[in-house]
Amino acid sequence: MALNRDKLGTSYPPYTYEVSREKIREYAMALGESDPRYFSDGDDCVAPPTFAACFTVVKGGAAAFADPELGSHPALVHGTQRYVYGERPVRPGDVLTCTPRIAGITARGRNEFLVIEVEARFADADELAVRSEATIVLLGSAPAAGEPDGQEVPA
């Protein structure tokens, strides 16, 4: 089943995520990080840059995949991930308001590429913390050229 192109631009309800020192530590340990700022008990504690995956990729993607009108299916792989950061680092105690949206739907051959963007903003100042852009490849869901809604895709 092909993705519903009418869902392009759809925003899903915002959710909040509170950053904890323990989650930063767990994430840093899982990555094998050694930067002492990730383990600090002081005000210098910051989250590793890819810590944003904890509150954007999984939870933001879940909102889109729970949408029955989108037409997603479980035969998929995570294609790419990109982050754009604001001016201020993410620290323990920060509360982030995260808003997921469908930023792109394209097809190449029989695969579809779904781009899910999650904008995370600091709740206390409404400034950008990080914008996550995940490309999910849905395998075999695009109509073939010549089928209804199929596209000719240049080689």
50 is a domain residue: yes
Q: Give the per-residue pLDDT at 153.
A: 43
Q: Give the per-residue pLDDT at 155.
A: 38
151 is a domain residue: no
Q: How far apart, in whole angstroms, are the C-alpha atoms of residue 13 and residue 30?
A: 30
Q: Give the per-residue pLDDT at 57.
A: 87
Q: What is the domain range of residue 20?
A: 5-138
152 is a domain residue: no
146 is a domain residue: no
143 is a domain residue: no
Half-sphere exposure of 30 (CA within 13 A, CB side): 11
26 is a domain residue: yes
Q: Give the per-residue pLDDT at 99.
A: 98
In Å, what is the CA distance from 25 to each residue of 39, 107, 153? 6, 39, 46
Q: Give the per-residue pLDDT at 113.
A: 97
The tally of domains found in the chain comes to: 1
Mean pLDDT of residues grouped by 10 in the chain (155 residues)? 94 97 98 97 96 92 93 93 97 98 96 97 97 96 67 44
Tell me the CATH number at 17. 3.10.129.10
150 is a domain residue: no
Q: Which residues pair with 77 in a beta bridge?
A: 137
Half-sphere exposure of 62 (CA within 13 A, CB side): 9
pTM of the model: 0.88
